[in-house]
Structure 1
Amino acid sequence: MSVWLLILFAFLALLGIPLSLSLGLAAVTTLWWFDLPLSMVTQAMATSINSFLLIAVPLFILAGQIMERGGLSERIFDAAEVAVGRFRGGLGHVNIASSFVFGGISGSSVADIASLGPISIRAMTTRGYPLPYSAALTLITATLATLVPPSILIIVAAASAGQSVGAALAGGLGPGLLLALALAAYNAFAARRHGYGTLSQFDYRKSLRSLLRAIPSVGAPVIILTGMFSGIVTPTEAAGLAVLYTLLVAIVVHREMGWRDLVPLIIRAGQTAGSVLLILMVANIATYVFTVDLLPQKTTGLLGTIASSPFATLLLMGVVFLIVGMLMDIVAAALMLIPVLMPAAVNANVDPLHFLIFMVASLAVGLASPPVGTCLFATAQVSKVPVEKLVVAALPFYAVNICILVLLAAFPSIVLAPAAWLTAS
């Protein structure tokens, strides 16, 4: 039954039918073919989005779009340049730092590329970095938004898995920091070895002016994350706070957008969030089919005969996550894989939160990988670098990502320690 659903889904997707529609048609056809109640379609779809937490998804998307339109992204980049831009490889570090901060507001990798991508690539190439290298670094740093709270994928995955969204968001902070530091280390090595970038003199007045201009923008993630992890606000309330704060800064402080500009942004945010939530709805129908077919139990038994430890289990699952993430939308991938593989992971003594964040980190690589990586094609469009050249330039960064995934599989504390500390404080 499950195999029939997956084959039909793959066939429809290869025909070019949107993933949400392909998955929905495959699930409904499977229900009809095996004489299962079709009433489960509406029931599963309605149940999947009947959650106050999911309101955070469109709100964080809207906050990211306000940042892009209101000039907050550019000021975040300028502030990061003041901090580390004058060192060898500094603009590469600026690229990483600004993406990390931006991800702490928008939770969207594609939004990161759309807003910060052109700024980062133009600044790096002007300072002597090769265009393919600049584009590749921008591509990989954009995936930080998938790990750094408030990651939209983590919110959706945690809600689907029945886990604490706050703990899951906190759990993504450790891997996000580790990946950012690893990328910075490689960037410093590459810049020194190949002579990338030019050194500039420190201008005290210019630096002070850039920092003062950026304070309202940089304050957004500080206020949002502090409020969320201190327990003052829930993730959904933090999303509303993000919209209000970024809107206030964009309209009142920076004055780079007006109230009339808000309507198109709301429409775009609704369209983007709608596509994410539609996948969540139809994936819940597929989850029902998997449950009836006892697929989680079958998978648990199979993995139990192959992997003998939590580390080996996660490594084996990581291969699956990487392959699936390269072939389909990562939100759809997460929602299909959670009900199938999470019980097997728990049976192998893997903490559910550790499993979720490891899955998200693995799938995030798919955002930057061929053949369907959303961030890959967005970066190619922004940078005007052909996809094949961009992939070749990004190979060292893919290697860095794989090393981080191995560390995440081996050391659960990278995920669990920040989650325990931040949710308890």
Structure 2
Amino acid sequence: MTTAQPSTQAHQVRNRRRALTASIFGTAIEWYDYALYGAAASVVIGPLFFSGAGQSAASVAAFATFAVGFVARPLGGVVIGHLGDRFGRRPAMLLSVILMGIATVGIGLLPSAEAWGAWSVALLVLLRLVQGFGAGAELTGAMTLVAEYAEPRKRGFYTSLVLSTPPLGIALATVCFYLVSLAGDQALLGWAWRIPFLVSALLFIVAIYIRNRLEETPDYAAAMAEARASQQRAKLPVAQVFTGHWRRVILGFLAITGHNAVNYILAVFSLSLMVSSGMERSQALLAVTLGSLVSVLLTPVGGRLADRYGASKIMAAGNISGLVLAFPIFALISSGEFFLGFLGIAAGYALVIPCTSGAQGAFLTELFPVPVRFTGIAIARELNGAIVAGLSPLIAAALLQAGNGSIAMPAGYLALCCLSSAAAIFLGARSAARTLY
């Protein structure tokens, strides 16, 4: 195939770098926002918005508002993914980052329940829904954009650079909360918690500027030119995904279940568990920050391995590691000791996430054809996000409470998620030649 707008090699290299920069920056902001709310849910959302419910119930309610954002993600993934497949990657990615920016800054400006009562809770839920809707296509768009510019033999590495930025966003968010927590609990619950949310306004302005300069990918331009020539352009990509590629959606969904469970339990639930186990709040934030930075460095290694050995093998290896480490990780983060807590976080981010995240971009983008790639990946990822990622901290908190503080049930839940992913990837790889491709 030939591109609709042939360009020189230098122009292609410049566009590839620009796409990579836009994707990395936008993805870092997305995860900064989500980890920011996750950290807030662990330490301030309960006291500020659900103080009348009691400590345990307030914690569960705070994690429930965290999960609310994931409810809107599948819808955002479908709608924005459809726009990305129908009208182009650039306008879809601009819409995504604008919605996220409005919602994040809005949360930072929101009065507490003491001032506005039930209206504050309702607006908090609404802003989380808007944030989730925008985020529903953010990482999918970034992966798709980079994958369609990258050479196929380097697709794993280049998409892993994008996928290494979620831990960076988590680290930035927890650093911000760590810094504002140094002001003391009274200041943190009074005004300091708003600062990290409001700072993101500057980041979104930069992201919008960068994304406004993007061009469409060669793969997308070629696919649309071919579709126009044959008059087969899909009017509704989501329908085409469910009628012609539903097996790929199921495999994509199951393949990232372990990844999302590990990632969100480490980034969100671990903070609450470490604090309730006796660790100071600032130390818990620091443990997650330092531990997540390990994944930033090692995820590109997972991408390199995916290019060399195959994305499915590396993703399966990461989930098997998660299965083996589930109980040790929970034992470490519930110890109440800073070093052991950090070691538990680092173990997940060093041995599990680099494989499941580093190989994910190549695995998912190669799973769907170009005309429905944005929509297909968005549906698989965001359905999983709503069911697994968004609910994992809430499920872990509920299981911990049901077990009277025992880590056995939440650790078992994590192990089960990793096992399901490893099995799905193994079975999917074996049946690919017969059913998927």
Please confirm whether the aligned pair reaches a TM-score higher than 0.5, indicating the same fold: no
Q: TM-score range by the shorter chain?
A: 0.3 to 0.5
TM-score of the aligned structures, taking structure 1 as reference length: 0.32
TM-score of the aligned structures, taking structure 2 as reference length: 0.32
